[in-house]
């Protein structure tokens, strides 16, 4: 025992001494040691996909880059390279040693958080993706399903069938997915309320850039009326803050539909039409009792869908059944001006 203790002491002293040497970065060493690895259940494929997404986000120079620890590390390297000259090396290495200690403390806090989360089943059941069959149906089948969907008669088809028939498009969540436990009772409508123009895919990209745990809704309806499924409704996504919701609404017992809009835009007719088709389908398919706006069930900090005409929506939803076209302007030519803004799509709702 004393011998071992002695050896440990000598090793620690040696490490400290090395840390004082000019040009030695303890921070960098620890960063390498404590670099976070994807959880065991994440396949290499998905980890690689996550990296690709992160790399893409980085190249766009979004504000998120600043939070990326890898780029922080490379910034440190860049600073080190630019700061040549020996006189500041001593102070620098002290600072680096202090920084290293901080990182170590942070790493151990992070590790204990991870353990706590695993014990409580918190983040441990998040998934990077959910299985889906994207192979297309033949034209006749697709047409039949598409017609059924717009006529409010598609409840015998699964959400996946709608995607395979092209009635609903698919743009997948990467992360933010959990297996659903329990029945779906609520349908929650949202509006994206982005600060800048952002189409549906851009909003989903923004969700996906945040790692394994992030917000998202199962469906997002674009300005031209295109409905995107991001994950099958048999999985849960995080579109409400369960700690603030009323009427017993949780992510576990609800499906979220986001309607794309900035505060300056009106909803488009094709968009409202699609929301009715989708809400009608989901209501029938899952026998959903309640349709709420996010603001209704989370009034402490949400007001979306903003400026949404509920009486018109309910009227149209009632008319959908029985092969009746809705009054929003069914089969309106889709008028979509592509959004070219590449600014970060920070979402407030
Ligand atoms: Zn919302």
212 touches 128 (CB < 8 A): yes
Binning the chain into helix, strand and coil, the percentages to the nearest 5 are 45, 10, 45
Q: What is the pLDDT of residue 111?
A: 54
What region does 237 belong to: left with phi over 0, alpha with psi -120 to 50, or beta? beta
Residue 290 phi/psi, 5-degree rounding, is -125, 135
Question: For residue 303, how far is its CA from the centre of ligand 1 (angstroms)?
Answer: 8
233 touches 159 (CB < 8 A): yes
Domain ranges (residues) in the chain: 12-125, 139-320
Q: What is the pLDDT of residue 333?
A: 33
What gap in Å lies between CA 216 and CA 193, rounded to an integer? 14
Question: For residue 302, how far is its CA from the centre of ligand 1 (angstroms)?
Answer: 7
Question: For residue 293, how far is its CA from the centre of ligand 1 (angstroms)?
Answer: 8
Question: For residue 241, how far is its CA from the centre of ligand 1 (angstroms)?
Answer: 9
Q: What is the pLDDT of residue 103?
A: 56
Question: For residue 175, how far is its CA from the centre of ligand 1 (angstroms)?
Answer: 19
Predicted TM-score (pTM) of this structure: 0.63
Q: What is the pLDDT of residue 43?
A: 32
Question: For residue 326, how far is its CA from the centre of ligand 1 (angstroms)?
Answer: 25
Question: For residue 111, how far is its CA from the centre of ligand 1 (angstroms)?
Answer: 32
Residue 314: CB partners within 8 Å, gap ≥ 6?
none
Question: For residue 16, how far is its CA from the centre of ligand 1 (angstroms)?
Answer: 51
SS3 string, 199-213, reads CHHHHHHHHHCCCCC
Q: What is the pLDDT of residue 10?
A: 45
Q: Nearest 10 degrees: CA dihedral of 207, 328, 282, 308?
A: 50
Question: For residue 59, how far is its CA from the centre of ligand 1 (angstroms)?
Answer: 29
259 touches 156 (CB < 8 A): no
Q: What is the pLDDT of residue 128?
A: 97
Question: For residue 325, how far is its CA from the centre of ligand 1 (angstroms)?
Answer: 28
Residue 64 phi/psi, 5-degree rounding, is -65, -25
Question: For residue 208, how far is its CA from the centre of ligand 1 (angstroms)?
Answer: 17
User: What would the CATH number be for the domain defined by 139-320?
Assistant: 3.40.80.10
Q: What is the pLDDT of residue 322?
A: 57
Q: What is the pLDDT of residue 120?
A: 44
- Residue that has been written with the tokens 């945040």 in this structure: 210
pLDDT in single tens digits along all 349 residues of the chain? 444 555 554 444 444 443 343 333 333 333 333 333 333 333 333 333 334 334 444 444 444 444 444 444 444 433 433 333 344 444 445 455 555 555 555 555 555 554 444 444 456 799 999 999 999 999 999 999 999 999 999 999 999 999 999 999 999 999 999 999 999 999 999 999 999 999 999 999 999 999 999 999 999 999 999 999 999 999 999 999 999 999 999 999 999 999 999 989 999 999 999 999 999 999 999 999 999 999 999 999 999 999 999 999 999 999 987 545 555 554 433 333 333 333 445 666 6
Q: What is the pLDDT of residue 38?
A: 33
3-state class (DSSP) for residue 190: strand
3-state class (DSSP) for residue 286: coil
Q: What is the pLDDT of residue 61?
A: 42
Q: What is the pLDDT of residue 110?
A: 55
Question: For residue 220, how far is its CA from the centre of ligand 1 (angstroms)?
Answer: 11
């Amino acid at each position: 025992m004393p011998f071992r203790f002695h050896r440990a002491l000598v090793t620690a002293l040696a490490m400290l001494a090395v840390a004082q040497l000019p040009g030695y970065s303890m921070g960098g060493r620890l960063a390498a040691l404590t670099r976070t690895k994807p959880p065991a259940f994440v396949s290499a494929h998905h980890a690689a996909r996550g990296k690709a997404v992160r790399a893409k986000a980085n190249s766009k120079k979004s504000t998120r880059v600043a939070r990326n620890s890898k780029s922080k590390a490379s910034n440190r390297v860049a600073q080190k390279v630019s700061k040549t000259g020996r006189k500041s090396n001593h102070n620098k290495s002290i600072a680096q040693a202090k920084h290293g200690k901080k990182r170590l403390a942070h790493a151990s806090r992070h590790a204990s958080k991870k353990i706590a989360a695993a014990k409580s089943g918190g983040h441990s059941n998040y998934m990077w993706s959910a299985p889906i069959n994207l192979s297309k149906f033949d034209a006749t089948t697709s047409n039949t399903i598409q017609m059924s969907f717009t006529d409010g008669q598609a409840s015998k088809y699964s959400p996946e069938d709608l995607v395979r028939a092209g009635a609903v498009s698919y743009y997948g969540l990467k992360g933010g997915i959990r297996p659903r436990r329990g029945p779906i009772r609520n349908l929650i409508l949202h509006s994206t309320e982005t600060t800048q123009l952002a189409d549906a895919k851009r909003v989903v990209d923004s969700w996906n850039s945040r790692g394994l745990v992030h917000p998202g809704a199962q469906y997002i309806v674009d300005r031209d009326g295109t409905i995107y499924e991001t994950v099958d409704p048999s999985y849960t996504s995080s579109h409400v803050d369960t700690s603030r919701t009323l009427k017993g609404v949780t992510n576990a017992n609800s499906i979220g539909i986001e309607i794309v809009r900035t505060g300056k835009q009106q909803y488009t007719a094709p968009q409202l039409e699609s929301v009715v088709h989708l809400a009608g389908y989901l209501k029938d398919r899952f026998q959903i009792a309640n349709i709420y706006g996010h603001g209704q069930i989370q009034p402490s900090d949400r007001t979306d869908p903003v400026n949404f005409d509920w009486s018109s929506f309910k009227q149209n939803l009632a008319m959908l059944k029985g092969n009746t076209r809705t009054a929003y302007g069914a089969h309106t030519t889709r008028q979509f001006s592509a959004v070219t803004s590449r600014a970060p799509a920070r979402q407030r709702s």
